[in-house]
């Protein structure tokens, strides 16, 4: 009798559980979000709103061209067949992952400005404003001497093939570009930090290659300050007027033995003559927001290496961008109230201050490398045609170490989207794609098929094939959405 009652009880319990699961099914996106809250640690953010020009006539923001967000999302789409959580999708990093065919600055100009206005392809009642910048290309031909310190995490988690082994391939590409006037130092950190190379002449390729090849992951915890040691060595080998730079490479242990993020930020900020770049690797535990803060504090870039193609992009195809021509760079857009009613800066959300209205952070500013292009897009509602805005750019020019300022007016002449430059149309397709990925309230009337056509028809300038990768991403996104 008791056995019969027990069986009935179990059946009733199973039925109740089944009904409960039917009434509250597990949402795939909820599960995915929870996983990436842990493993892809980006800070969430709200998209920039529309601002009325008579209330906010200027938009000031500091510029940047990090590529980590695009590389991570590309990996998720093309390799794992998954959409990225919205907080990973940073529009400005997607747009500025690509090369744009902008006119070179002349001679002593650190940076040249260009821009145009067309129809907004996803919102017919609005216009699309593009502001483009390009750094002087002089250092691509005659770069200054470099003093580079590689600060490499070799803790146990770095043993995976897409971490330390991938970094070793990337560092070999970097070493290939070094010359007799250059110096390279390698510092590893795990239970203690170790100096693998110290100020090695860039011409000694075999010694450098051997040191890189011998890097191995060590299954111990990091409790020593490799960061302090890296700054000690970069300053010991300092090159006056040179490219003095620390490159921190890690999957998650980005503090390199420092007690907390504030200590690390203070150390980096105090060394104003040293650029500080961060490379993230691996598919999990990447504290991306913190890594980007470190790079921003050191006037450096934050990149994510998903594969060897990213390594070639950073240390081969765009090696010149590691030589900064414009430091502490900020842009201010002064809108013409007689022509523009309201505007929205697309992207750059995490480069604003706490007021949420002025996009220039008082502590940090951006940088532009030699030959590097930067693009910003604004969606605007206009009252008439005419001068839309005046762009004011200022920085410290690394060409003569003086203050550099330039102004540029952008005119709206009623151009339709199809008549705009290929750079304008391609940047617009990238922005629209990110709004689709984020399921943005501002995405307007668009779909992946339209975005693919815009991108395909404007991909004529693609020296390294990155835009072709983007076309594959759009196709994959459309497949997954169906």
Q: Which residue has the higher pLDDT, 364 or 274?
A: 274
**Which of 39-43, 62-66, 404-408 ranks highest by mean pLDDT?**
404-408
DSSP 3-state of 55: coil
pLDDT on residue 408? 97
Does domain 51-65+84-139+326-481 bear CATH number 2.60.40.1230?
yes
Mean pLDDT of the chain: 85
Task: Tell me the sheet residues that pair with 60.
Answer: 332
| CA distance linking residue 397 with residue 244, whole number of Å | 16
Convert the pLDDT of each residue in 287-310 to its tens digit. Answer: 677 888 888 888 888 899 999 999
pLDDT on residue 197? 96
| CA distance linking residue 305 with residue 4, whole number of Å | 61
Backbone angles phi, psi at 160, to 5 degrees: -60, 150
Convert the pLDDT of each residue in 229-260 to its tens digit. Answer: 999 999 999 999 999 999 999 987 776 666 67
- Least confident range from 71-75, 168-172, 282-286, 378-382: namely 282-286
| CA distance linking residue 215 with residue 164, whole number of Å | 8
Domains 51-65+84-139+326-481 and 144-322 share a fold: no
Torsion sign (Cα): 422, 423, 424, 430? positive
DSSP 3-state of 84: coil
| CA distance linking residue 320 with residue 369, whole number of Å | 7
pLDDT on residue 257? 60
Q: Which residue has the higher pLDDT, 84 or 81?
A: 81
Name the pLDDT band for 224 (thresholds 50, 70, 90). Answer: low
H or E element in which residue 187 lies: strand 183-189
Q: Phi/psi zone of residue 328: left (φ > 0), alpha (ψ -120 to 50 degrees), beta?
A: left
E strand spans, 347-439: 366-369, 373-382, 386-397, 403-412
Backbone angles phi, psi at 243, to 5 degrees: -90, 85
The mean per-residue pLDDT over the stretch 426-446 comes to 96
pLDDT at 16 over 70: no
pLDDT on residue 9? 39
Convert the pLDDT of each residue in 130-160 to its tens digit. Answer: 999 999 998 878 899 999 999 999 988 899 9
Does domain 144-322 bear CATH number 3.40.50.410?
yes
Q: Where are the domains of the chain?
A: 51-65+84-139+326-481, 144-322
Convert the pLDDT of each residue in 180-203 to its tens digit. Answer: 999 999 999 987 789 999 999 999
pLDDT on residue 357? 42
| CA distance linking residue 331 with residue 365, whole number of Å | 10
Residue matched to tokens 């199809």: 418
| CA distance linking residue 365 with residue 350, whole number of Å | 13
pLDDT at 20 over 90: no
- Least confident range from 111-120, 198-207, 254-263: namely 254-263
pLDDT on residue 142? 85
Of all residues in the chain, what percent carry a pLDDT higher than 90? 64
Convert the pLDDT of each residue in 328-358 to its tens digit. Answer: 898 999 999 999 999 999 998 865 533 334 4
Q: Which residue has the higher pLDDT, 140 or 420?
A: 420
């Amino acid at each position: 009798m008791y056995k019969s009652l027990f069986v009935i009880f179990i059946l009733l319990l199973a039925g109740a559980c089944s009904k409960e699961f039917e009434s509250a099914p597990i949402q795939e996106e909820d599960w995915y979000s929870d996983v990436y809250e842990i493993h892809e640690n980006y800070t969430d953010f709200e998209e920039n709103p529309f601002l009325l020009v008579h209330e906010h006539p200027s938009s000031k923001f500091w510029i940047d061209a990090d590529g980590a967000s695009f590389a991570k999302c590309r990996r998720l789409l093309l390799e794992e067949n998954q959409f990225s959580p919205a907080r990973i999708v940073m529009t400005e990093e997607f747009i500025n992952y690509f090369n744009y065919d902008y006119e070179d600055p002349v001679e002593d100009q650190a940076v040249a400005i260009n821009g145009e206005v067309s129809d907004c392809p996803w919102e017919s009642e609005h216009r699309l404003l593009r502001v483009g910048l390009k750094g002087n290309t002089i250092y691509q031909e005659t770069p200054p001497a470099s003093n580079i310190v590689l600060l490499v995490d070799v803790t146990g988690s770095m043993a995976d093939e897409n971490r330390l082994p991938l970094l070793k391939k990337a560092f070999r590409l970097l070493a290939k570009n070094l010359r007799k006037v250059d110096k390279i130092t390698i510092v590893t950190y795990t239970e203690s930090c170790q100096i693998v190379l110290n100020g090695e002449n860039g011409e000694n390729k075999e010694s450098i290659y051997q040191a890189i090849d011998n890097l191995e992951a060590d299954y111990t915890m990091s409790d020593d300050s490799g960061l302090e040691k890296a700054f000690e060595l970069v300053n010991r080998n300092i090159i006056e007027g040179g490219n003095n730079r620390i490159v921190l490479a890690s999957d998650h242990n980005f503090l390199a033995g420092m007690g907390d993020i504030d200590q690390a930020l203070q150390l980096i900020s105090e060394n104003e003559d040293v650029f500080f770049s961060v490379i993230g690797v691996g598919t999990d535990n990447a504290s991306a927001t913190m890594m980007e803060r470190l790079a921003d504090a050191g006037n450096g870039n934050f990149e994510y290496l998903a594969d060897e193609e990213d390594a070639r992009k950073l240390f081969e195809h765009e090696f010149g961008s590691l030589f900064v021509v414009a430091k502490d760079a900020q842009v201010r857009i002064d809108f013409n109230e007689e022509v523009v009613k309201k505007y929205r800066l697309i992207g750059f959300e995490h480069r604003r201050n706490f007021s949420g209205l002025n996009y220039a952070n008082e502590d940090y500013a951006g940088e532009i490398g030699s030959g590097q292009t930067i693009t910003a897009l604004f969606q605007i509602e206009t009252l008439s045609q005419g001068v839309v805005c005046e762009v004011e750019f200022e920085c410290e020019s690394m060409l003569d170490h003086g203050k550099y300022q330039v102004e540029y007016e952008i005119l709206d002449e009623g151009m339709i989207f199809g008549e705009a430059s290929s750079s304008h149309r391609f940047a617009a397709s990238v922005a629209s794609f990110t709004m689709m990925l984020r399921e943005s309230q501002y995405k307007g009337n668009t779909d992946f098929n339209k975005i693919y056509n815009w991108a395909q028809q404007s991909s004529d300038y693609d020296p390294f094939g990155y835009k072709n990768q983007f076309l594959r991403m759009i196709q994959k996104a459309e497949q997954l959405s169906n």
